[in-house]
Amino acid sequence: MKTISYIITDELGIHARPAGMIAKLAKGYKSEIKIGTSNKMADASRVIGIMSLCMKQGDEIIVTVDGEDEGEAAEAISALLKDNL
């Protein structure tokens, strides 16, 4: 299992566009990918689940990736977060 931590720097937080980008990327991997905070997680392949977390600027995102392609998936998610949030 791989775990990624990231602090949101985007002033809008995770809104519809980045949530859609995360979900689209997560759907492309066989691994189970979860996103959230230390007390609430959601399936990263579901836009509504990501949006329901209401993550804002300054919040810490925790992403867990577990499965056969977890290394590749974790690198891709990490790059997406750094480039877009």
- HSE-CB of 17 using CA atoms within 13 angstroms: 5
Catalytic residue among 6, 10, 15, 49: 15
What's the token pair of residue 18?
A: 């980045």
Beta bridge partners of 2: 65
Distance CA 32, CA 45 (A): 9
How far is Cα 15 from Cα 8, in angstroms, rounded to an integer? 12
For the question of residue 15 being annotated catalytic, the response is: yes
Q: Please list the active-site residues.
A: 15
